[in-house]
Structures are given as C-alpha cells and as structure tokens.
Amino acid sequence: MKSFNQNDDDKDIGIFKNRSDGTRLRVSSEEECIKKMMQRFGSYDIFGVHEENRLFSIASKDVATNDITDDLLTFKCRGQTLLKEFAERRLKEQNDEFYAPILKVQSKTFAYLYKEPVSKKQKVTKILKANRKLMQRLFNADNSGRAVKNSIGTST
C-alpha cells in the first residue's frame, strides 16, 4: 500500500523528475544562477570576517581585539601558572588558610567590548546588552511613520 507522497523503495525515481530537468542547457543555466547568487552574497559582505586568523563571535559577528584574543587563547597556561604559584605559596609560606580559594583573574571576553563606564568618579563599568523589546519598538515606530527620537524618549 502506498501512502500520500510516498514512493516505493523498489522504484528509483532518479535525480530529475522529467527529461527537461536533465538537459545540459537547464543544468548550465542553474549553475549560472548559483554563481550570480554567490557573487551577490559576496558583494553584500554578509559573512563579515575576511581575516581567517582572527577570532570572532558566531552569535554577534564581533571580531575580537588583540587583548581579547590573547586572553582567550592563553587562558589554560595562565590558569596553570596561577595554580602552581598558589600551591607553592601555600606550601612554603603557609600564610593562607587550608580552604582559601585561588585568586581569580578576570579575563577579557567578547562581553568586554560592550562595557561602558557608568560613572567616571567611581570608575564603575556596566555591560550593555541588546534589548529586543526596545529594538522592536524602534522598528515598529519607524514603520508606522513616527519619529524614532520620540519613541526613544518614552521608552526610558
């Protein structure tokens, strides 16, 4: 019994549904369309990063700075040296308590790109995150013809 839109396993339907799909003219025209599409993708610079040796975030397409690259690629070595120093200091000096934690070092990540100073006097920084609701409101306001500056002022 054959179900809807199901083919028998014994019957090989092949790649092409009819004879005109397999002609050289049809195949070459489809290849040309694919080449044009690839050129358009390249001209719009959709994929972004051209330097293959640079780290970039897959989610945000941000390219890492040299500081972030160094921190991310050398975290294992830095962690091992911190552990060795901590163990030597604990065994030799015995000033630390037995259950004292290892000192943490704040490594730079992609979130570091979005840190902005909140107050200059206290030197406090805050990580800015994208607010989807705010962006949605801005797009809706722009599409409805309202001035975007007015909608920014009312959202805070």
Q: For 11-32, write each residue's pLDDT tens digit.
A: 545 555 666 666 777 778 888 8
Rounded to 5, what percent of the chain is helix, strand, coil?
50, 5, 45
Q: Is 121 within the bounds of a domain?
A: yes
The answer to whether the beta carbons of residues 16 and 22 sit under 8 Å apart is yes
Q: Is 2 within the bounds of a domain?
A: no
Structural domain harbouring 126: 109-156
Q: Is 113 within the bounds of a domain?
A: yes
Q: Is 123 within the bounds of a domain?
A: yes
Element housing 63 (H / E):
none
Q: Is 144 within the bounds of a domain?
A: yes
Q: How many domains does the chain have?
A: 1
pLDDT at residue number 3: 58
Across the chain, mean pLDDT equals: 72
Q: Is 137 within the bounds of a domain?
A: yes
| 79: pLDDT strictly greater than 60 | yes
Task: Report the share of the chain in percent with pLDDT over 90.
Answer: 3
What pTM, to 2 d.p., does this model score? 0.41
Q: Is 32 within the bounds of a domain?
A: no
